[in-house]
Amino acid sequence: MNDLTGRLARASSRRPWRTLVLWGVAIVLAVAAIGALLGDTLTTDAQMTNDPESYRGYDLLDAHFPPSTDYVDELVVVYSPRRPVTDPGFRAKVDSLARSIEATGAVQPVRTFYSTGEQSLVSPDRHATILLVGLVGDGDEGIESVIDAVDAAATGGFDTTITGQYTADRDFTRLSQEDLEKGELQFGLPVALIVLLLVFGAVVAGLVPVVVALVSIVIALGLTALVGQAYDLSIYVVNMISGMGLALGIDYSLFVVSRFREERRLGSDRRDAIATVGSTTSRAVLFSGSAFVLAMLGMVLVPDTILRSLATGAVLVGIVTVLAALTLLPAMLALLGDRVNALRVPWLGRRAAEGAGTEGRVWSRVVRRVTRAPGRAAVVSIGVLLLLAAPVLSIETGLTGVRELPDRFHTKQGFTMLEREFGVGTPDSVKVVVNGDVRSAPLRRAIGEIARRLRAESAFLQPDVSTSPDGQVANVEALVVGDSRDERALAAVQGLRSTVVPAVFGGVDATVYVTGETAEVLDYRALTDRWLPIVFGFVLCLSFVLLTVAFRSIVLAAVAIGLNLLSVGAAYGLIVLVFLKGVGRDLLGFTEVDVIAAWLPLFLFAVLFGLSMDYTVFLLSRIREHVAGGERTTVAVERAVASTARIITGAALIIIAVFIGFATGDQVEFQEMGVGIAVSLLIDATIVRLVLLPAVLALLGERTWYLPRWLGWLPHLDLDPPSRNPQGRIPAA
């Protein structure tokens, strides 16, 4: 690893224009791939690949029932506060709207109360009716013209709304794009640039990391477009790539540029400075990036297309960002030289340049106060973190539904009117699929009993029984009251599975599956609950091995992992406190929810361990450097923390800004993710790195570096060789 990063840096700096041309070609190819392929490769669909009960139920229905000609994708509601459905003007409005929707050519014949006589399509107060719409062909394209027709009909005292599968997909995709533009481009990126200016004190130095990050994002998106030709990828992979690309690209560039400026300040010429960076900081970047990528691979283990999509995006942007830091960045520095300090910020620029790599007085005072009373500092900080983590014990997980969408979206407006007028909010239903000789007397009685119990349950409406032509499968189907993903629906469907179905079909020769949208949510929650400890174990074991190899100490590896767990636990607790308990939710402008996204704990754990590895490697390599130079561990900790605190704090603030950008959006799952990552990194860069880690290492003393003799064969991996600074100062990484 040592020779590799040094050779890459030297080769890139010797022929910088060739390196820039190669990266330019990669950008052009990536943009071409994005334009030609990306839009067709991303989907809002989520699939579990472990064949859960809900999917087995769908498979039975598909195998035994002929394709339906009266399926429903969208529900259109026409409402008038003054006219009942029996009014001729009301019928004229409905008939006109039905003709307009059919004229789009995107739907099968629209069914209405007037064409079918179905009383269930009329609200109890007779002032609203539902039009049943099934799309043909590419529903994602056809839905736009259908929505336009519905919007155009909202005249003459009538309200018209639409909700359903394709409308929801469209609105969630648009919300994701809006949040990306608002959070990352309008908030995260500008704030990150401001932090870079404060850290470097120069405009050019501050822009270099942003350029590296943007290049990494574009190329990673191009690679995603190619990967998407073979595998289905979620639309949310774009958000993942943009967030992680900004975070990692700026972080790694911050460390490299800081070290380059320090080497130039110490008198190295341009090429020697780049070579030194390649032999030191670039190694840490390669190690940190590799650890991040491996941590993300933990999510690939989970049989879920969304998590695998997010992991794919993170892995691709992580690899590209590391390559950019090892090759593109040295080439840029070779061309810029000392012009990297151009356009200095008045007053701040000189102080930033002179303070690079030196021990900050404020940070020195803080860490020395901690190491003088390490026991007290450790107990207090651990107590605070455990207190923050405590609310996680009451966490409830699930998936957000239409109810959490902002009111401006068609899906939410249609849901609200449906729920108000009809008691249901979506076209989703629960289906009890019975496989056996459904025409036999015992099964007919059991199927009738299930239908009766569904009719008696207030969470369901209008149960209906249908039998397959071959007599082998029966489908008992009922609409779900309200939002099919809320806790009331989940509890009712879980009760069907765990209590009602076993009681009714016990002793009967049949296989029974409960399926539908709500059942899928239950299956997904069970999936994440099962895989969470597996991913935990995978990432923890991997992190322990990597840290042990890097620092040749099982104690230090265990300490680092334990502290990371505390910061992640505190983040979990604060998410529950804000989003479920409502503490500060209105003040911060977050959406009210009943559950935390089921994928979030697993996702946060993998991401936070990957990101925190940057700071862990950076700080611990400095500590080990001083110990290798003959200093006691406590002194080494004090000097390392004091000299790296400014860079670590700046790097953390940048990533915090990027993910607060997610939290400023309207999509609640990204609000939760943004708050979780931002809070955890804030805790990691302050309480953990400045207080708890120094306190624990001061208590351990020289026992910090314990490595059993039987592990003596581990390689000596010098992430940061001893500094050649004659004044004994520690160069910035």
What digits encode the pLDDT tens for the residues 554-568? 999 899 889 888 988
Q: What's the Cα-to-Cα distance from 334 to each of 46, 182, 274, 289, rounded to whole Å? A: 46, 35, 7, 23
Query: SS3 sequence, 491-514?
Result: HHHHHHHHHHHHHHHCCCCCEEEE
Can you count the helices (H) and strands (E) in the chain? 29, 11
- Whether 184 shows a pLDDT value over 90: the answer reads no
* 109 close to 54: Cβ distance less than 8 angstroms: no
- What is the SS3 assignment for 151? helix
pLDDT given at position 360 = 58
What digits encode the pLDDT tens for the residues 198-212? 877 888 888 899 899
Rounded-to-integer distance, Cα 673 and Cα 664, Å: 11
On the 0-12 / 13-18 / 19+ scale of CB atoms within 10 A, 725 is middle
**Mean of the per-residue pLDDT values of the chain:** 85
pTM reported for the whole predicted model: 0.81
* 79 close to 87: Cβ distance less than 8 angstroms: no
Select from 150, 157, 186, 184 the least CA-distant residue to 74. Answer: 150
Residue type present at position 591: T
- Whether 728 shows a pLDDT value over 60: the answer reads no
Rounded-to-integer distance, Cα 212 and Cα 200, Å: 16
Q: What's the Cα-to-Cα distance from 386 to each of 80, 444, 676, rounded to whole Å? A: 55, 56, 16
Q: What is the dihedral of CA 381, 386, 389, 392, to 10 degrees?
A: 180
Q: Which residues contact 653 (CB under 8 A, 6 or more apart)?
A: 195, 685
Q: What is the largest CA-CA distance in the chain?
A: 94
Is the Cα dihedral 10, 14, 17, 22 positive or negative?
negative
- Whether 730 shows a pLDDT value over 50: the answer reads no
pLDDT given at position 10 = 87
Give the residue ranges of DSSP H helices in 234-360: 237-265, 270-279, 281-300, 305-323, 329-336, 348-355
Q: Supply angle C-alpha 241, 139, 152, rounded to 5.
A: 105
Q: How confident is the model at residue 57 (pLDDT cuts 50, 70, 90)?
A: very high
What digits encode the pLDDT tens for the residues 118-168? 888 999 999 999 999 999 877 778 899 999 999 999 999 999 999 988 898
Rounded-to-integer distance, Cα 395 and Cα 676, Å: 14
Q: Supply angle C-alpha 296, 299, 304, rounded to 5.
A: 145
What backbone phi and psi angles, to 5 degrees, belong to 508?
-100, 140
Rounded-to-integer distance, Cα 385 and Cα 562, Å: 12
Average of per-residue pLDDT across 655-660:
81
Give the residue ranges of DSSP H helices in 373-409: 374-389
Rounded-to-integer distance, Cα 123 and Cα 642, Å: 69
- Whether 722 shows a pLDDT value over 50: the answer reads no
- Whether 352 shows a pLDDT value over 70: the answer reads no
